[in-house]
Homo-oligomer: A and B are copies of this chain.
Amino acid sequence: MLAGRRLRPVDRGAASAAVRASSPGLLRLEVVAGEPEVLVIGGGFGGLHVVRALSKGPAHVTIVDRHNFHTFQPLLYQVATAGLEPADVAYPIRTIFGRRSNVGFRHGAVAQLDLEGRRATLLDGAVIAFDHVVVACGAAANFFGIEGAERYATPLYTLADARRLRDRLLLTLEDAEEQPGIPAKPVNVVIVGGGPTGIETAGAVTELLNVCLRRDHLRIDPASAKVILLDVAPRLLGGFPGSASDYAAKVLTRRGVDVRLEASVASVTSDAVILASGERIASSVVVWAAGVTATGTIAASVRGAGPSGRIAVAPDLSIPGHANAWAVGDAAAIPDGKGSTCPQLAPVAIQSGRHCGRQILRAIEGRDTEPFTYHDKGIMATIGRNAAVAKVPGAPLVKGRLGWLAWMSLHLFYLVGFRNRIRVFVNWTWRYFDWPSGPRLIMSDAETAD
């Protein structure tokens, strides 16, 4: 059965000279003699763009990820608030590179990375030898050691986070309904962090509450359903101009969000967020949008870890002391040329990934590598329907409906996969004209119960 496709001849032991020297006798598959082996760890924005840059060159690339899909992280908050489905923002990595014969995917996690021996051991015991390796494994939520935060707050960095948060929000709403014999519970959604993720989530949760109460007729007293946005700084959207901060605070407040500035979180419990001032804010769900760190096993195993556990890299993105090892995206502390490091943002991951791929090709060709320069094309954040802020360097701040349309166009453009673009576009259009009879599905109980 399944005729029509044959395994390509396997050329065992024909790895490049460097690999053979360091890994004698290693079993190898589908290796074209002399073509250098590149291992890319992580299929996020950084890793994908490394592979894209490499896929046209004389290299064989293996991309390893714990998930068989790439996640479009900027829209995770819409999955968390039941606006989009998981499949709308996830795309199988195999499918992305399906037509490139020199790119392979491996589903698994790296247990051990041996930069000297140029080999990675996966959790299932498989060994992958390489000539070059790129660490593009991203980051994780930064809880800053705040007591109870990791246990009781939900971050919004992975698709699993988004699905968990959605279920928590919807279950909280179901549980809050008045029931015979059971007193009604208030709904308090507390969002910690007033950056783009925080304000996007605050706006979307408000819209979700409105839809659930108006469309789904949940018997919840609107006065007892609150969204509280906390930021430690004196203004929201720290990286934006002051007028953007004021606009975001004004729009969110008008839409019902309780914006609390200079609010420093001391601890999180099962039902409250405690501020440094001693104030106790009751919470049913806590969203952690306070920033990321990079303290994974792989980052830790690489010598010379930089700020927030990120891997320190040279200006060409190579890891100092290992000419054939590289790091990109959120996992890397990339010098910005001004004595600091680039922010952990999607555009930095995309640009550093592309640059890294090109440098590996230069190294393969024996040419000198070039330093990475981040081209800041601007930042944007959406607050909800018809409200977003966009700041392009050298141009005035764009806000309101125009900013919102710009935000939507850019996100559709960067979304991987034509079909996902169509689905998200149709979804957004639909929701603009009519609140959706959308996917407010609680899935977690479907995992356990029958």
> Which residues of A approach B to under 8 Å, CB–CB?
1-8, 10, 26-30, 66-69, 85-87, 90-92, 94-95, 98, 101, 104-107, 109, 124-129, 140, 157-161, 163, 170-171, 174, 177-182, 206, 209-210, 212-223, 225-227, 255-257, 417-419, 423, 430, 436-443, 445-450
Residues of B with C-beta under 8 A to A223: 1-2
Minimum-distance CB pairs A-B, first 4: A1-B256, A2-B222, A94-B216, A107-B174
Measured in the bound complex, the distance between the Cα atoms of B426 and A423 in whole Å is: 10
Residues of B with C-beta under 8 A to A159: 446
Residues of B with C-beta under 8 A to A160: 446-450
Pairwise interchain contact A419-B441, C-beta atoms closer than 8 A: no
Measured in the bound complex, the distance between the Cα atoms of B214 and A257 in whole Å is: 50
Interchain nearest-CB distance for A358 vs B (Å): 25
> Which residue, A2, A27, A161, A214, has most C-beta atoms of chain B within 10 A?
A2
Residues of B with C-beta under 8 A to A105: 216
Measured in the bound complex, the distance between the Cα atoms of B153 and A101 in whole Å is: 36
Pairwise interchain contact A218-B440, C-beta atoms closer than 8 A: no
A174, closest chain B residue (CB): B107
Interchain nearest-CB distance for A165 vs B (Å): 13
Pairwise interchain contact A125-B447, C-beta atoms closer than 8 A: no
Pairwise interchain contact B126-A182, C-beta atoms closer than 8 A: yes
Among B85, B215, B418, point to the contact of A437 (Cβ < 8 A).
B418
Interchain nearest-CB distance for A225 vs B (Å): 6
Q: Can you spell out 5 A-B residue pairs with CB atoms less than 8 angstroms apart?
A: A2-B256, A124-B182, A125-B181, A126-B182, A160-B450
Residues of B with C-beta under 8 A to A1: 206, 222-223, 225-227, 255-257
Pairwise interchain contact B127-A209, C-beta atoms closer than 8 A: no
Residues of B with C-beta under 8 A to A27: 180-181
A254, closest chain B residue (CB): B1
Interchain nearest-CB distance for A189 vs B (Å): 11
Pairwise interchain contact B449-A436, C-beta atoms closer than 8 A: no
Pairwise interchain contact A419-B442, C-beta atoms closer than 8 A: no
Among B86, B179, B441, B445, point to the contact of A443 (Cβ < 8 A).
B86
Residues of B with C-beta under 8 A to A213: 2, 5
Residues of B with C-beta under 8 A to A170: 68
Pairwise interchain contact A5-B214, C-beta atoms closer than 8 A: yes
Interchain nearest-CB distance for A380 vs B (Å): 26
Pairwise interchain contact A174-B419, C-beta atoms closer than 8 A: no
Residues of B with C-beta under 8 A to A178: 7, 10, 29
With A219-B7, A221-B7 as given contacts, are A210 and B2 in contact (CB-CB < 8 Å)? yes
Residues of B with C-beta under 8 A to A85: 85-87
Pairwise interchain contact B447-A419, C-beta atoms closer than 8 A: no
Residues of B with C-beta under 8 A to A441: 68-69, 86-87, 90, 92
Pairwise interchain contact A440-B95, C-beta atoms closer than 8 A: yes
Extra contacts, 7 of them, besides A92-B440, A95-B215, A127-B181 (Cβ < 8 A), are: A7-B219, A29-B180, A68-B442, A87-B87, A94-B218, A124-B182, A160-B448
Pairwise interchain contact B98-A216, C-beta atoms closer than 8 A: yes
Pairwise interchain contact B158-A446, C-beta atoms closer than 8 A: yes
Residues of B with C-beta under 8 A to A439: 87, 90, 92
Pairwise interchain contact A67-B446, C-beta atoms closer than 8 A: yes
A31, closest chain B residue (CB): B180
Pairwise interchain contact B445-A419, C-beta atoms closer than 8 A: no
Pairwise interchain contact A437-B95, C-beta atoms closer than 8 A: yes
A183, closest chain B residue (CB): B27
A15, closest chain B residue (CB): B180
Interchain nearest-CB distance for A65 vs B (Å): 10
